[in-house]
């Protein structure tokens, strides 16, 4: 069983957004030492809650300051960009850390509609399958088909290894595309508390066509989880994200507030109901408790890898959570 990390560089009230990026670098080095398989970075725009706007830039810093962990994006929102430019960026990353780079791509905007237009006024999500196919060839060092107008173009720098391309999604669309192209697939379980995950994974596995890069289906999910030294402390720490989630569902985008401020917040009955719903399925507790539930979830969905996303107001509590879980998973080199 493999365990990996998704870091969105969450921001906290009273701290700078720049510090959230620096905390990402520290956490990445922790996870490298602790024995996690991958360290993925997300892409969001015009969102004060998340400082990670450029995963390709942040991945370069992480790759240069880690030793063995795979590093990549989860993901690059491809409709914003040229497939050639993305291929070149990740070929450069592959040169920095040969054999350690993942390129996860998605078609969601990672932003509001206005920001998406500012990023690329000519963006068309219907072009996503074509972009992925072009990216797949360019990033692997192959030429496009003879009839393609960009046949003569190569993505540089070339090298002996290539990034691993992943399709990301939270619906059946991405699952079917990944299956058709014979690529690995990652489902964003934490987006909507796992709704639709069984259908997506079933479609991916049943429709999968072996490719030159993948002989059999390779799927993972990204879940939100939090561990602490005691169950009570974990519940207390999780209140910061609960408060954020209540605001998010009302259209409020704000940094995480402290657990103390979250406890003092006057929730409406409807908001309290939202929190109770979140707590009913939350992967929150001591490391053995959380690890047991994660293993059970992986077994139910027949997964060989799970990606963990954790937000805390205090970045040290986030570091502690990953360290405790690494120990509970018996990862090599753990030292909580």
Q: Which residues of 19-29 are buried (b: 16+ CB within 10 A; e: fewer)?
A: ebbebbbebbb
Kind and range of the H or E element at 27? helix 17-34
Closest CA to 8 of 324, 312, 305, 238: 312
Q: List 6's β-bridge partners, or say none.
A: 40, 309
Taking the C-alpha atoms of residue 177 and residue 270, their distance in angstroms, rounded to an integer, is 38
pLDDT of residue 332: 83
To the nearest 10 degrees (0 to 180), the angle between helices 172-181 and 128-139 is 40
Residue 14 lies in a domain: yes
Name which of 82, 202, 192 is nearest 130 in CA terms.
Answer: 82
For 144, counting Cβ atoms within 10 Å of its Cβ (0-12 exposed, 13-18 middle, 19+ buried), the class is middle
Instruction: Look up the CATH number of the domain holding residue 34.
Output: 3.20.20.30
Domain for residue 277, yes or no? no
Considering its fold, how many domains does the chain have in total? 1
pLDDT value of position 193: 87
Signed CA dihedral, 132, 86, 6, 106: sign only = negative
Tell me if 334 is assigned to some domain.
no
51 inside domain = yes
pLDDT at 159: 94
Looking at the domain assignment, is residue 23 inside a domain?
A: yes
Residue 236 counted as domain residue = no
CA 236 → CA 219, 233, 240, 258, 281, distances in Å?
32, 5, 8, 10, 16
For residue 148, the enclosing domain spans 2-229+284-328
Specify the pLDDT at position 277.
93
Per-residue pLDDT of the chain (336 residues; tens, 9 = 90+): 999 999 999 999 999 999 999 999 999 999 999 999 999 999 999 999 999 999 999 999 999 999 999 999 999 999 999 999 999 999 999 999 999 999 999 999 989 999 999 999 999 999 999 999 999 999 999 999 999 999 999 999 999 999 999 999 999 999 999 999 999 999 999 988 899 999 999 999 999 999 999 999 999 999 999 999 999 999 999 999 999 999 999 999 999 999 999 999 999 999 999 999 999 989 999 999 999 999 999 999 999 999 999 999 999 999 999 999 999 999 987 555
Q: Which residues pair with 105 in a beta bridge?
A: 76, 167
pLDDT given for residue 171 in this prediction? 92
* Short-list 78, 82, 83, 303, CA closest to 184: 303
Q: Could you give the CA distance from residue 245 to residue 77 in angstroms, rounded to a whole number? A: 23
What pLDDT score does 335 carry?
55
183 within domain boundaries: yes
Residue 281: burial class (beta carbons within 10 Å; 0-12, 13-18, 19+): exposed
- Across-strand partners of 102? 72, 164
The DSSP H or E segment spanning 222 is strand 219-228
pLDDT of residue 334: 57
Answer yes or no: is 262 within a domain.
no
């Amino acid at each position: 069983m493999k365990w990996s990390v998704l870091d969105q560089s969450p921001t906290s009230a009273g701290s700078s957004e720049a510090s959230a990026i620096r905390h990402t670098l520290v956490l990445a080095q922790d996870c490298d030492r602790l024995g996690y398989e991958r360290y993925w970075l997300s892409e969001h725009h015009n969102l004060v809650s998340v400082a990670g706007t450029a995963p390709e830039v942040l991945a370069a810093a992480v790759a240069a300051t880690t030793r063995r962990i795979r590093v990549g994006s989860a993901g690059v929102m491809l409709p914003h960009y040229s497939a050639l430019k993305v291929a070149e960026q990740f070929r450069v990353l592959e040169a920095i850390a040969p054999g350690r780079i993942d390129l996860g791509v998605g078609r969601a905007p990672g932003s509001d509609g206005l920001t998406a237009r500012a990023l690329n006024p000519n963006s068309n999500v219907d072009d996503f399958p074509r972009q992925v196919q072009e990216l797949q060839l360019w990033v692997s060092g192959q030429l496009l088909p003879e009839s393609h107008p960009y046949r003569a173009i190569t993505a540089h720098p070339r090298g002996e290894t290539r990034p691993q391309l992943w399709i990301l999604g939270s619906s059946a669309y991405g699952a079917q595309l990944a299956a058709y192209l014979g690529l690995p697939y990652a489902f964003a379980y934490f987006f909507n508390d796992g709704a639709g995950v069984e259908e997506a994974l079933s479609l991916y596995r049943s429709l999968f066509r072996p490719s030159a890069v993948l002989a059999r289906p390779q799927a993972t999910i990204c879940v939100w989880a939090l561990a602490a030294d005691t169950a009570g402390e974990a519940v207390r720490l999780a209140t910061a994200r609960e408060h954020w989630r209540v605001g998010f569902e009302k259209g409020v985008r704000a940094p995480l507030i402290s657990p103390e401020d979250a406890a003092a917040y006057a929730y409406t009955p409807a908001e309290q109901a939202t929190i109770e719903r979140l707590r009913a399925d939350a992967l929150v507790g001591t490391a053995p408790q959380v690890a047991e539930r994660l293993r059970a979830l992986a077994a139910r969905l027949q997964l060989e890898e799970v990606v963990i996303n954790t937000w805390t107001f205090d970045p040290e509590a986030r570091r502690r959570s990953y360290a405790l879980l690494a120990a509970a998973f018996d990862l090599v080199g753990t030292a909580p």
